[in-house]
A and B are shown apart, each in its own frame.
Chain A
């Protein structure tokens, strides 16, 4: 130890001067020369002390104090207070201190109070202060109590700072989980309500849209109070100038309204007369979102700290509000997008379906009226009905287009591509438009080149594409012509429709294919239109894997080009089962070009021959090819004719498509006419088809035979063509009449939105409407469907769904009625939820079951979506950091969509990378660029259409909309079609997911800032391999703290290690910590003694109030010997564990925390770190647990250390942290430092150093050797002997071998095996013969006397002295 004071000169001059200057003659004490010597001594003690203290003398306790007390406590009462009675100095706290003073003066007992609240009036106002003090009696020689002495520490700043920090910390913590504004305000109320000292009352106002401020939270006062009105209108300041504060964007001090009576008091007795009004401003925000009114503590001045506190509170609330608003906005956006999507699709399909029924009921009677030969429409009435019918058809076309859109959106309209002679098909469709184009005075030209390969298209779609382009061209071309061209390229087929029309302005071409987009003011034949046609063309082209584009110049014309691939076969339903759209398009086009003047001759003929049956389908069955061709040739101009060569083939055709009439020969191979007749009649679907027999056999008998068998008519060969036509027509008309009623019913059922089916008594499905076909994808052509139905789930793959449907079917058959909901399997594999309502009609054989199936997939999906959202919410709420959020989100997405994997792509500096994935395997490698592009295109994007154009590989969405930095990719594994709402669900889930990621990132950012700050003032992170260090900030609430570690290489084999803990949290603690660390570093570079260093820190802490109570464990390791000298200032003991698992707590060298023992020596202890042993120093966060004693915690640490011993230091620290703070959810910050002494290279234990040849080095060398010996249990007297012997050898080397030349080395090596100590001291110098003389001889003699053996080897290279000595306990 050294006597050099490490504190500045005492600054008691001021008080000494005051004492001297005071005229004491007026005082009861008289002039100082006459004071009792005890008083003089005591006054000297007090005045010269640097501790804040005062004393009272005599019965009146006349007041004496020192400079520290005057400065810290007395305030304006200095120097007035000097020598006055204590009761006059401190009347305001006499109630508190009076009894204590009495106890001291009368009972002679000392008192002790810690952080006692005292209201002092030292600054001209009543002030909240905290003091820790003790009163002790001053006892005179005669044993009487002559006065009392008070040593006092003012702790006001500490108490206030801790209280405020706690509030800020709790507020931040509560707000971090508040997701709505209401939750923010509730959290604000809860937390601020717990600190009514600093904030006696608060009122938080938020500005509404109209500028009025609405009260949203109060503490310490009821809403509606005069300091907290519910609403403050704009411009009306009410009690507070809220508007002005918001406009200034800076806080303002304001007097609480009205008199002091009735003002809130918070935790105090007096009202809070002043308030600080702080605008709620969040960084980057343009206008304050509100104003925070903070009622102020009447007992504190509003200083920078206090103002800062109120502003930090307001800042927290403001960011809470901003975060909640952002969250809410983002959530609403995601939800409304999804809702919009869902609503739109539903709207289209519902509205369209709703239109279809009335349209059917308009068209059917109108057509009936026009066909009615019995009561024919004449003249003007016919014209009117024709207009009705034409427009109804046009409307129906629009409705169908919209339905197509809805189906495309919902993925329910796949392209069913079949091999097609596209040149022929295109020509047919184009030519069907020719008459109307010609009538418009335009030319139609075709350039259809033969195609190299077969093209697969969906014919209905292709027809619609072409018809839309043609009608569009016709509409906008007033003169010139329209050209249709088709040509093949390598991979694609190009259809081009060019016109010489008005053209499209360039600035509208981009949007031409958007739905409902219409070029404004475009001249054309009609202003009608929905803007749906070209959008439909684009969708249909895309469904083929192609696209559409346009080249146009205004006034010149336009060319639309559709490019599609050759395609592959995906057809499932028989071609031609859909109604052709040509008639509807023609109808509309005819409206544009004006009334028909020259009806084509053939059309007239058809009308006269076919009458009202023109669209009918007639099946001709004859085994004679010539007869078959003849019949077909006669009938084909008027009806739709199919042919079959015998009964078997005919049945196949009939099964595929029900004809309206069958014309059949009687005699045929395989199955004759009668066989065919009975087969047709026995099938309920075809039972009513009229059948006309053709026979070469004349005569009544065969006619009767045929008619008895159930034929409708009978024609004997030979017959004339006209006769055949007449018979066919009349039979068709008869059948139509007969079926009129059922046709009406059929039309109604057809137009129903819900699927309706009829089962026979055995449960076989014998009838179904179009909605059924659409619902489940099974064609009516394949009726009847006997059970088990193919749309019921396979019990193997989905037992639950299968059971529900099979149960339903059986219950219907047994009970005669059924109301149930269960899933069915669409023919394409997607799941359809249906609500079923069914009833039985009729009895016995005629018993039928009428079943209505309502598609509730959307509703079920909505319920599932809500459940998925809830699950995702829970999963994400449990996640802490970004990585956990990724994991939870991806897992949930994968489950909800039954997908194979999900991953997140991020665009970073290294390009696109996968930052998280639900699976690790490498085959998860989508084209990342494509994922980003697709995700950027829409909220959700479907990716990877399969060649069948209905299945997708997966979905992509942006995770951070607007920034485009990250995207989610959901891999469905096996490509499958999407349900209509799956995209919307995906969008919403990704919206939530993105929110959670953003929150977690924000949190991590904060944490990174905290950690970075700490690290910037913390010790080095690069440490020797023998060490490992860690700092972990507190997690909840996230804050920098006061813990630190430090490692300093002191040179000369010494390594200083320090771990400390400053009280408090937050920036203040961190700043204090930084200063303490620097101070400790500086001290360590001056002294290698831990005790001296910490004593220096004491002096430092005394001048830095926030450093009081800091605890430190400071040690110096002598690395060659493993000697560890340490001291602890109130810190937890370090632990040492030896390789064999034994260990100890370094509990010696224990002193009080810093700042309490200034000037006193610090204890220092030494221990020996055995080779391979591990030293761990740490702060309390590592071992402290609620509901657990510290000892238990330290024991846990020791156990954990023993377990991890075998690992390298870095790994040991990681293991310890994993053991001690699982999940890293530490509530306090943690600093850990670990040192591993290298294992001994050979047997035994060595102390090996090279000492510089400078006498000044010897002292330090001896200390090292002493430590090494002592901690190996060598006895004190033996240690002394070794030190002397070795010291002599070293001194000889310096003095004689090196002749005091500096910068040479003396190598000392000591080894201890069992109790045998071997010492060698070697130099590389030259002995001058004869030097040294008596003294040198004495040195050798001393060595010989103290060691058991001494050998001196002297050579050209130097001298080696070897000594051996038995030591040991």
Chain B
């Protein structure tokens, strides 16, 4: 069974649109995740507070998106996302923020 992931895009509070992701991100749906972040806007907010799992492939997508423009990542305290952000030092290339 493919990991379940839901994606929604909302106009952000500022100029950057917000991509809300929930569920699990892994090899099985990495392409959908990548496509979801493929917004035209140069800057992007990615709300990962509903994500229960993410692996290095997901992190890789985030790194490459950060390379295209300002990226802000929201996450939940005590989550897989937080652990991974810390380990991969994603904070070095994007703004990471606890929700």
Contacts and interface: CB of A to CB of B under 8 A. Distances in A.
A1346 B55 CA distance: 13
Given A1295-B27, A1335-B56, A1259 B2 contact: yes
B28 A1256 contact: yes
A411 interface: no
Contacts of B59: 1338
A1284 interface: yes
Contact of A1335 (B60, B83, B87): B60
B67 to A, nearest CB: 12
A837 B87 CA distance: 119
Interface residues of chain A: helix, strand, loop or mixed (majority)? helix
B56 A1262 contact: no
A1342 B84 contact: yes
B83 A1287 contact: no
Interface in A1246-1275: 1254-1260, 1262
Interface residues of A, number: 27
Nearest to A1292: B56
A1291 B27 contact: yes
Given A1342-B56, A1342-B88, A1283 B80 contact: yes
Contacts, number: 72
B63 to A, nearest CB: 9
B33 interface: no
B24 interface: yes
A1255 B2 CA distance: 7
Given A1256-B1, A1284-B80, A1338 B60 contact: yes
A1280 B80 CA distance: 5
B4 interface: yes
B28 to A, nearest CB: 4
B82 to A, nearest CB: 8
A1335 B57 contact: yes
Nearest to A3: B6
A1262 B57 CA distance: 16
Given A1255-B26, A1258-B3, A1346-B83, A1334 B60 contact: yes
B79 A1287 contact: no
Given A1277-B83, A1342-B87, A1346-B87, A1259 B56 contact: no
Given A1283-B53, A1342-B56, A1258 B27 contact: yes
A122 to B, nearest CB: 47
A1339 B54 CA distance: 12
A1276 interface: yes
A1052 to B, nearest CB: 10
A1259 B84 contact: no
Interface string B26-64: 111000000000000000000000000101110110000
Contact of A1338 (B4, B83, B88): B88
A1258 B57 CA distance: 13
B78 A1339 contact: no
Nearest to B79: A1280
A614 B3 CA distance: 128
Given A1277-B78, A1335-B60, A1341-B87, A1262 B27 contact: no
Contacts of A1287: 26, 53, 55
Contact of A1291 (B4, B55, B80, B83): B55
A155 B7 CA distance: 44
Interface string A1278-1291: 00110110011001
A1259 B87 contact: no
B32 to A, nearest CB: 12
Contacts of A1284: 53, 55, 80, 83-84, 87
Contacts of B56: 1288, 1291, 1335, 1338-1339, 1342
Nearest to B81: A1280
Nearest to A1088: B1
A1294 interface: yes
A1345 interface: yes
Interface in A1329-1367: 1334-1335, 1338-1339, 1341-1342, 1345-1346
Contacts of A1341: 87-88
Nearest to B80: A1280
Contact of B26 (A1259, A1335, A1338, A1346): A1259
Contacts of B1: 1256-1257, 1259-1260
A397 B79 CA distance: 118
Contact of B55 (A1254, A1257, A1277, A1288): A1288
A993 B12 CA distance: 90
Q: From B55, B57, B87, name the one whose CB has the most chain A CB atoms within 10 angstroms.
A: B55
A510 B29 CA distance: 98
Interface string B71-90: 00000001110011001100
A1262 B2 CA distance: 12
Which 7 residue pairs of A and B lie closest in terms of their CB atoms, listed nearest first? A1255-B27, A1255-B28, A1259-B3, A1345-B87, A1339-B56, A1256-B2, A1280-B80
26 contacts: A1256-B1, A1257-B1, A1258-B27, A1258-B28, A1259-B24, A1259-B28, A1259-B53, A1276-B78, A1277-B83, A1280-B80, A1281-B83, A1284-B53, A1284-B83, A1287-B55, A1291-B27, A1291-B55, A1291-B56, A1334-B60, A1335-B60, A1338-B56, A1339-B55, A1339-B56, A1341-B88, A1342-B88, A1345-B87, A1346-B83
Given A1259-B1, A1259-B26, A1291-B55, 17 more contacts: A1254-B28, A1255-B27, A1256-B1, A1258-B3, A1259-B28, A1260-B1, A1262-B24, A1284-B53, A1284-B80, A1288-B55, A1288-B56, A1291-B56, A1295-B27, A1334-B60, A1335-B56, A1341-B87, A1341-B88
